[in-house]
Amino acid sequence: MKKKLIISLKLLALMLLFLSVTTGCKKDKQEETKNNPSLIGEWGHVKSLGTGRNQVTQITLKEDGTGNEVIFNTSFSGATTISDENIKWLSEKEVLKLIFNDGLVDEFQFALSQDAKTLTLTNKSGDAKEFFKQ
């Protein structure tokens, strides 16, 4: 009877040890991402579509990792919104990820000018766009 009690206590101690090692605080498992603070703000890019017509991309990156991307066309007769989407964003080293609500992730290499007023985003195909801080 004593042997069964000792074996049961040892098994219980092993189970408790196993559980304490394999479980932990949620914060311990999640690394906090530190987005590059120089990216925070409103950025604009203008692409000419011909005489008097432009396509404007405006990206807003907030401190909390959320933001917005608006694309619209302008002409002499006014502006037409093409898309207006809420996003989440992450920066890791020189990579900027824009995460859209539908799960799409746009990934760019980024470079900031020395004065942090010009942001160059280069996609995986090598196409680069310059954005200016507004």
Residue 33 pLDDT: 61
**CA pair distance 11, 33, nearest whole angstrom:** 40
Residue owning tokens 């859209």: 100
* Mean pLDDT value across residues 40-59: 95
* The pLDDT of residue 29 is above 50: no
Do 84 and 100 touch, CB atoms closer than 8 A? no
Residue owning tokens 């203008």: 46
Cut 0.75: pTM above it:
no
**CA pair distance 33, 23, nearest whole angstrom:** 22
Domains present along the chain, CATH in parentheses: 37-133 (2.40.128.20)
Residue 123 pLDDT: 95
Burial class (CB in 10 A: 0-12, 13-18, 19+), 95: exposed
The pLDDT confidence band at residue 38, using thresholds 50, 70 and 90, is very high
Do 73 and 53 touch, CB atoms closer than 8 A? yes
Greatest pairwise CA separation for the chain in angstroms: 95
Residue 23 pLDDT: 60
**CA pair distance 2, 14, nearest whole angstrom:** 18
The distance of Cα 1 from the centroid of its chain, to the nearest Å, equals: 61
